[in-house]
Amino acid sequence: MNQPTGLTGPTGATGPIGRPGARVLLRVAIVVAVLLALVLVETSSRSGVLWRLTTFTYQVNVLAAAFYAWSLVSSRADTRPGLRGAVVLYVVVAGLVWNVFLTDQSMGYTPANVLLHVVMPVLAMGDWLLVGRSQGDVRWWQPIAWLAYPVAYLGLALAVLNEAGRRAPYYFLDPGSVGAAAVAGNIGLLALGFVGLGYVISALGRVAVAARPEPLHPALPTPP
């Protein structure tokens, strides 16, 4: 007896993109995009990639690569919608902020910047909308909890990086560039942006799951 296509296992790992192989290809593409960007920066810039790991963008893209690599070897990753949603949010925010405010301050649309700030947000959102069903289970409080990492990074930027002989990685967090009052205002706007976009991403995940037909499960084998 032929089994229907688009089957899903108990973790709901596949989605409307069809077969599990498509899920794997999408997530391999995410991991490869980050690794390729890191290699390009390390081999084509005088300063290399190490100091760039002080930036929110590079940290969250490495985090995303680690998460999706984990998802390729363990189905448990797809049962953690809170962690998965946080990864998507961070990558999308990093892309939006860079494209709107920072292109003129970071060498523009180089291949590495395109991979990290354009390709990665698109791939991460595509995975969120098309792969699995657990993203419909994000709790109401989790978009607020997703602020934990940005707050920790903010502490690093203000308390450490501004005292380490160079400006904060982002001028809008540097009191020496824009003033303390502007930094305080920018922090408030960023916090609102993170939480608001977190709820938008959570809602889009629920809508995407609800819009799909229920997954087909393989029939039990017929006894001989």
What tokens does 160 get?
A: 């450490």
Model confidence at 160, in pLDDT bands (50, 70, 90)?
confident
The helix or strand, by DSSP H or E, that contains position 190, with its residue range, turns out to be helix 180-210
Q: What is the pLDDT of residues 84-127, one digit of tens each?
A: 999 999 999 999 999 999 998 888 899 999 999 999 999 999 99
pLDDT for the residue numbered 124: 97
pLDDT score for 58: 96
Q: Which residue has the tokens 């949603």?
A: 85
* CB-based contact 117:98 (threshold 8 Å): yes
> pTM surpassing 0.75?
yes
The backbone torsions φ and ψ at residue 193, rounded to the nearest 5 degrees and listed phi first, read -65, -45
Confidence tier at 5 by pLDDT (50, 70, 90): very low
Average pLDDT, the chain: 86
Indicate if the pLDDT at residue 19 is higher than 70.
no
Compute CA 80 distance to the chain's CA centroid, rounded to the nearest angstrom. 14
